[in-house]
Amino acid sequence: MLEGIRRESAAAGSKEACGLLFGADGEITHAQTAENVSENPERTFEIDPRTLFAALKVERAGGASILGYWHSHPSGDATPSATDAAMAAADGKLWLIVAGDSATLWRAGERGMHGRFEPVEIGV
């Protein structure tokens, strides 16, 4: 799954790639790519609302749970930015960030990096 996210991120070039993370019991089982509909995709990401709403509808019908989100930092490192923190709700969702071959996983809460992100170990 992580290799697929890295491929999608590389294919996006200088734009941030993004998508959803799915699973159960805190374990990510698969990811989905979404269109980045941000007005400035070179610096920020916004998951296409149609993709998010469709996933929420499936989740509510008993399908895969949305555990969180993934996105790339094409010109940075794999740590959350202040912009990421401003966009994130303190809802406990996971945030996977990739930058080149690096990947980090974070849980959005009310403390940690930028007052929002606590690191989570990536189990491979």
Q: Which structure tokens are listed for 54?
A: 């469709």
φ, ψ for residue 39, nearest 5 deg? -70, -20
Ranges of each domain in the chain: 2-120
**pLDDT number for residue 124:** 59
User: Which amino acid, 91?
Assistant: D
Q: What is the pLDDT of residues 13-35, one digit of tens each?
A: 999 999 999 998 879 999 999 99
Q: Check: CATH 3.40.140.10 for 2-120?
A: yes
Q: What is the pTM of this model?
A: 0.95
Asked if 98 and 70 touch (Cβ cutoff 8 Å), the reply is yes
How far, in Å, CA of 40 to CA of 54, rounded? 24
Band the pLDDT of 75: cuts 50, 70, 90. Answer: confident
Asked if 19 and 70 touch (Cβ cutoff 8 Å), the reply is yes
Q: What is the pLDDT of residues 91-115, one digit of tens each?
A: 999 999 999 999 999 999 999 999 9
